[in-house]
């Protein structure tokens, strides 16, 4: 079964990039959609590897030509997923992995209801802040930017109920296994046969289902100062 679209969303600093890269290494027939953005490259980022870096004028031209599956403006910069990546993956009989924010995820789910959405969470606000500060020295991120990202993280996490799966990235190796299980389980669900190994994978993925991880996600959200999930 090919053509499954997997959406991964997460606050900055949650380990999404590390998990996605390992997933692509471990799972065959899965392609990554490189997003377009108008922001400037950071650190060692290269055009065509982390993002396609384009001007605002070029991005808006692509919007006018309906070239995006989804796009959003975040902190004054555009980010978007080109439709061509989905078409290319389908033509090659492969699945597609999207690394997009909650705005983009909502747009994709509206257009592709069968897309599989996965939200990666940090264990707590404290852990996320420490990760951001550990990274800030290399990327020269200011305290103001860190505070802004923590505020944005809280708003993003408040959308966790809109996702099919919740993955709390506490222990990296375990999280890698869970993410792999989710992707493989969705393939199994859409196939015609199952083995005993398949059932083990499905059980592991089911542990990450929203209804199983909702209480923990609520605890994490509470660490950001929310006593209940804010209304959208």
The answer to whether position 40 is within a domain reads no
- In the predicted model, is pLDDT for residue 40 greater than 50? yes
55 falls within a domain: no
The pLDDT, as a whole number, for residue 44 is: 84
Q: Does residue 50 sit within a domain? A: no
Query: What's the pLDDT score for residue 143?
Result: 84
User: What is residue 138's predicted lDDT score, i.e. its pLDDT?
Assistant: 63
Which domain CATH number covers 162?
Answer: 3.40.50.300
pLDDT of 42 reads: 84
- Assess if residue 67 is contained within a domain: no
- In 3D space, the residue among 23, 21, 24, 52 whose CA is nearest the CA of residue 39 turns out to be 52
104 lies in some domain: yes
Count of domains for the chain:
1
Percent of residues, the chain, with pLDDT higher than 70: 94
Residue 23 CA: distances (Å) to CA of 45, 88, 97, 100: 20, 20, 10, 16
Average pLDDT value for the chain: 91
pLDDT, one tens digit per residue, over 175-196 is: 999 999 999 999 999 987 788 8
Q: Above 80 in pLDDT, residue 132?
A: yes
pLDDT of residue 176: 97
Give the per-residue pLDDT at 71: 94
pLDDT at 149 over 60: yes
- In a domain? residue 76: no
Domain with 217 in it: 5-32+95-222
Q: Which pLDDT band, with edges at 50, 70 and 90, does 232 fall under?
A: very low
**Angle in degrees, 0-180, between the axes of helices 196-206 and 172-189, rounded to the nearest 10:** 120
- What are the two backbone dihedrals, phi and then psi, of residue 9, each rounded to the nearest 5 degrees? -125, 150
Residue 44 inside a domain? The answer is no
Residue with tokens 């980010």: 79
In-domain check, residue 37 = no
Q: Per-residue confidence at 92, pLDDT binned at 50, 70, 90?
A: very high
Report the DSSP pairing between strands 77-82 and 36-37.
antiparallel
pTM over 0.95: no
């Amino acid at each position: 079964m090919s053509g499954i679209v997997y959406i991964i969303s997460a606050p900055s600093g949650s380990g999404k990039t590390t998990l996605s890269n390992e997933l692509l290494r471990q799972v065959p027939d899965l392609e990554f959609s490189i997003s377009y953005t108008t922001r400037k490259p950071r650190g060692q980022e290269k055009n065509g590897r982390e993002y396609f870096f384009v001007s605002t004028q070029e991005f808006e031209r692509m919007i006018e030509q309906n070239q995006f599956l989804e796009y959003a403006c975040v902190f004054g910069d555009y980010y978007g997923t080109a439709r061509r990546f989905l078409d290319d993956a389908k033509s090659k009989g492969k699945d597609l992995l999207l690394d997009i924010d909650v705005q983009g995820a909502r747009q994709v789910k509206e257009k592709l209801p069968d897309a599989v959405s996965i939200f990666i969470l940090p264990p707590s606000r404290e852990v996320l802040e420490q990760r951001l500060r550990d990274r800030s020295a290399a990327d020269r991120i200011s305290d103001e930017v860190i505070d802004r990202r923590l505020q944005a993280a809280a708003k993003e996490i408040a959308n966790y109920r809109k996702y099919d799966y919740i993955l709390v990235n506490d222990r990296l190796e375990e999280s890698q296994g869970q993410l792999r299980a989710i992707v493989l389980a969705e393939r199994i669900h859409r196939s015609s046969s199952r083995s005993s190994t398949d059932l083990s994978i499905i059980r592991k993925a089911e542990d990450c289902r929203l209804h199983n991880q909702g209480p923990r996600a609520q605890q994490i959200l509470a660490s950001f100062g929310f006593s209940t999930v804010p209304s959208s």
